[in-house]
Structure 1
Amino acid sequence: MSSNVKAWRASIVHSLADPAEVGLDASYEYLADGLLVTENDRITGLGYARDLLPTLPEDAEIVECPNSLITPGFIDTHIHFPQTDMIASYGEQLLDWLNNYTFPAEKRFAESHHADQVADTFLNELLRNGTTTALVFGTVHKASVDAFFKAAEQRNLRMICGKVMMDRNAPDYLTDTAESSYDDSRELIERWHNKGRLHYAVTPRFAPTSSPEQLNAAARLLGEYPDLYLHTHLSENSQECEWVQALFPDSKNYLDAYDQHNLLTERSVFAHGIHLCDQEFKRLHDTGSAIAFCPTSNFFLGSGLFNLPKAEEHKVNVGLGTDVGAGTSFSLLQTLNEAYKAMQLQGAKLHPLKSLYLATLGGAKALRLDDRIGSLAVGKEADFVVLDCESTPLMKHRMQYAETLDEKLFVLMMLGDDRAVRYTISAGNVVHDRDM
């Protein structure tokens, strides 16, 4: 019988820990001429090519990837698949943008054939950009979540999604009730949660569109299924923050509106977190909750700048989110481009090795999946990406003058996009080949 061993030869880099905690030098492993060995869906070997090549079975398939860099698959900790339809919609800030563009687009997902079509487009875009895991918003319709999970299951992807819960301050055609949202979510949980590589996230859109009764229903689900995720928005826009305070007058701050309903857990991920106080950062740390840093959409909607150094100071888990469709690219490379600028505007630096961490292991830690994905350690699931360091004429030219790993990573993050993704591999299978 033939083996299922496959070996990928290229330069290889992956994060070992957060540079903010262990320092840059201890935060990564780099192999200039490395070999990544997989068998079926697992990583079974990682080392220098000269050491591992002689150990391979005779029938092992070896993929040579010159001028390339292998990294773990990218992890997107906040994105809306129904908003694929209205990405790049002009001229509004958050609340008007939701009413004028987002809600009308999401109305169409009541139709399962539309949801199926967009789910395929959405996942193909993720894979084309090297993203192998994402935490994803559906719509209020069960059909949207069924469509997403069905398409993800067919590709054997590790994905997380949930039905939006929204029972007030939204169009009638998109609202549910506290009880119906509980019942619909529970039905979807029973059908999809932990099926293969899939997970469910309880998904109240944000505090203004959920009544206290609905937030209690969300907490009830979390109590009944302890390994569920909680996925929602937090402190994205200053007007939004004022609205939350008016709707929840007894809350000490925006985060407390969720906290009072027992929604802060180790599997809670809050998108944005731009306008947080120290008390909120501390509470996020104490509960093990995470923030999804979404610089592209924060710039696009004029929402503000996320304070990453403050999150580091409080040791809050942070992942990276494209936040399509307010985000204007599925590419986490392009998202890191924007993250760097967000830090520059605050007088802070975002080192390329920290960027690598945010897009891979940091995202895995935020999602509590770092025992399975996020690095290239032996035994982890074989989710990784092969980046072409000469994917455009400009990148090829610039790489001639990049003498260190830091420089090469930074060039990829500033100039890279979907064109730089040569292969995307999920569970050991090629799910995107740029040249096919």
Structure 2
Amino acid sequence: MIPPALAVLRGRILSFLAAPKGPGDAASYRYFPDGVVVSEAGRITRVGPAAEVLPTLPAGTAVDHYPDDLILPGFIDAHLHFPQTQVIASYGAQLLEWLQKYTFIAEQRYGDPVYAERQAAWFLRELLANGTTTAAVYGSVHPQSAEAFFAESERLGTAMIAGKVMMDRNAPPGLLDTAQSSYDDSKRLLQRWHGNGRQRYAITPRFAITSTEAQLEAAGALAREFPDAYVQTHIAENLQEIEAVRSLFPDSRDYLDVYDRYGLLGPKTLFGHCIHLEERERQRMAETGSVAVFCPTSNLFIGSGLFPMKDLARRDPPARIAVATDVGGGTSYSMLRTLGEGYKVQQLQGANVSALEAFHLLTAGNAEVLGLADEIGTIAPGRHADLVVLDARATSAMAHRMEAVDADLEEELFILMTLGDDRSIKATYIQGRRMHEREGTRSRSPA
């Protein structure tokens, strides 16, 4: 995709400057009640009050105007599965049974490159319809699944992190590679796509149960050869899973130690779930800067447990935390729905997550833990113009609730994260180009 030479959005602009310390932390963000963001060739060049910016634009410049809506950085999803779109909302199983009964069956279809290409196009469009502009994505074991995904992402101009799953045991024959083939296929994909435009590669052993020691060593070898690549996997999601790992790796101190022995921990490692970590594991994750990814809708739907967000955040050093949908165990592509369920998960543990903390997490916070804060996550000069336009009156229930809100930004954000979903996404922009808009919402006027 070629970004537009000049793109201008006007509306109520919100972007974070720092992690909020809690509700009411006005110093953590910058807000323009009537603001303008200008981008050229896909990157933001100016943001500020409309009264200051508009007079500096060339006469007749087209402006996409959203006077009643919030303009935020595009949402970032730190963990989801591209081949699981057609097993979302599958009934009645916990993790290990769910994989065998639903997931592994669906993923075998991704060996067909034509099928993978069609699914990639649908998947990425669905992310955009939900305001998600960057994600960390698992492919299937087939290299063509990752190839199809990256090719479609490149065509759309999105910034994505993805990798083919490495899996050489405890799965159907149609989903097994080997230690050597997983290394070779992953390396080819990494060399082809990592740093190619906005695409980045994640070395992706699915989880310890489906990888032999030899395959984990191959993953570690890739991580040593390509230290700027990501690593993504799962840990401590389910109690039966943990027992299975203990039996498969009896010489390891705990689940995290399995990955640690092969050099797979570090600031570019994304660990999905992290619900049932032991104290040593929590401390080791914090020490290595590894990222704990909170997947609330999945954890609730599959019955895995409650993510200890506040405990991890209060450690010294604090754990690095991201948030994600985890589709298809997760039940919605919407990061707004994800935030709402995340709030409930923390309430069940006697903790609150303010609206400011939540929206920081899915924009600047996720960008920071992914090492992309210089590229995305904030509305500031030099960043890519990946933006989302949010409508807090998208449904009759939301509009009714908003009648009681007296220009309170935090209350509006909380309504969005508890009552909002894809209907609240009025428009999504990639590098300044509108790539999704809700029907009947276009508003363009000259500057």
Residues 1:385 and 2:388 are matched in the alignment: yes
- 1:20 deviates by 4.1
Identity, % of aligned positions: 51
Greater displacement, 240-249 / 23-32: 23-32
From 328, 332, 335, the counterpart of 1:325: 328
Measured against aligned partners, the alpha-carbon deviations of 1:307-361 in whole angstroms (never above 9, x if no partner) come to 1101211222211110000111100000001001001100100100010011111
1:275 aligns to what? 276
Distance 2:334 2:383 in 1: 23
Greater displacement, 397-406 / 129-138: 397-406
Distance 1:4 1:83 in 2: 37
2:429 aligns to what? 425
- 1:398 deviates by 1.2
**In 2 relative to 1, CA 142–411 (structure 1 residues): closer, same or farther, beyond 3 Å?**
same
Distance 2:75 2:367 in 1: 9
Q: Secondary structure at the match of 1:430?
A: strand
Conservation of the 8 A alpha-carbon contact between 2:79 and 2:136: yes
- 1:300 deviates by 0.3
Greater displacement, 97-106 / 368-377: 368-377
Residues 1:406 and 2:410 are matched in the alignment: yes
Measured against aligned partners, the alpha-carbon deviations of 1:40-83 in whole angstroms (never above 9, x if no partner) come to 21111111111211122224221110220011100000000100
**In 2 relative to 1, CA 339–22 (structure 1 residues): closer, same or farther, beyond 3 Å?**
closer
Conservation of the 8 A alpha-carbon contact between 1:291 and 1:366: no
Distance 2:101 2:273 in 1: 21
Distance 2:433 2:75 in 1: 15
1:338 aligns to what? 341
Q: Which amino acid aligns with 2:393?
A: E
2:233 aligns to what? 232
Q: Which amino acid aligns with 2:286?
A: H
Q: Which amino acid aligns with 2:414?
A: F
Greater displacement, 192-201 / 426-435: 426-435
Q: Which amino acid aligns with 2:65?
A: E
Distance 1:56 1:5 in 2: 10
Distance 1:88 1:100 in 2: 13
Distance 1:398 1:194 in 2: 45
Unaligned runs of 5+ in 1: none
Distance 2:434 2:281 in 1: 41
Q: Secondary structure at the match of 1:299?
A: helix
Greater displacement, 144-153 / 309-318: 309-318
Q: Secondary structure at the match of 1:349?
A: coil
Measured against aligned partners, the alpha-carbon deviations of 1:220-268 in whole angstroms (never above 9, x if no partner) come to 1111112100010011001111111121122222111100111002110
Give TM-score scaled by structure 1 length. 0.97
Unaligned runs of 5+ in 2: 441-447
Distance 1:375 1:282 in 2: 30
1:90 aligns to what? 91
Distance 2:22 2:292 in 1: 17
Distance 1:346 1:56 in 2: 51
Distance 1:302 1:340 in 2: 17
Q: Which amino acid aligns with 2:428?
A: T
Q: Secondary structure at the match of 2:275?
A: coil
Distance 1:270 1:11 in 2: 35
Distance 1:281 1:49 in 2: 46
2:209 aligns to what? 208
1:45 aligns to what? 46
Pairing of 1:125-164 with structure 2 (within 5 A): 125-164=126-165
1:265 aligns to what? 266
Measured against aligned partners, the alpha-carbon deviations of 1:140-161 in whole angstroms (never above 9, x if no partner) come to 0011111101111110110011
2:166 aligns to what? 165
Q: Secondary structure at the match of 1:232?
A: strand
Give TM-score scaled by structure 2 length. 0.95
Residues 1:19 and 2:2 are matched in the alignment: no
Distance 2:6 2:122 in 1: 31
Distance 2:268 2:296 in 1: 22
Q: Secondary structure at the match of 1:117?
A: helix
**In 2 relative to 1, CA 224–23 (structure 1 residues): closer, same or farther, beyond 3 Å?**
farther
Q: Which amino acid aligns with 1:409?
A: L
2:444 aligns to what? none
Distance 1:255 1:272 in 2: 12
**In 2 relative to 1, CA 213–432 (structure 1 residues): closer, same or farther, beyond 3 Å?**
same
Distance 1:113 1:313 in 2: 47
User: Size of the alignment, in residue pairs?
Assistant: 434
From 354, 360, 371, the counterpart of 2:374: 371
Distance 1:246 1:167 in 2: 17
Q: Secondary structure at the match of 2:89?
A: coil
Residues 1:251 and 2:252 are matched in the alignment: yes
Q: Secondary structure at the match of 1:98?
A: helix
Distance 2:201 2:66 in 1: 36
- 1:22 deviates by 12
Conservation of the 8 A alpha-carbon contact between 1:31 and 1:47: yes
Q: Secondary structure at the match of 1:364?
A: helix
Q: Which amino acid aligns with 1:263?
A: L
- 1:21 deviates by 9.3
Q: Which amino acid aligns with 1:230?
A: V
2:196 aligns to what? 195
Q: Secondary structure at the match of 1:147?
A: helix
Q: Secondary structure at the match of 1:86?
A: coil
1:296 aligns to what? 297
Distance 2:205 2:258 in 1: 12
Q: Which amino acid aligns with 2:19?
A: D
Conservation of the 8 A alpha-carbon contact between 1:166 and 1:177: yes
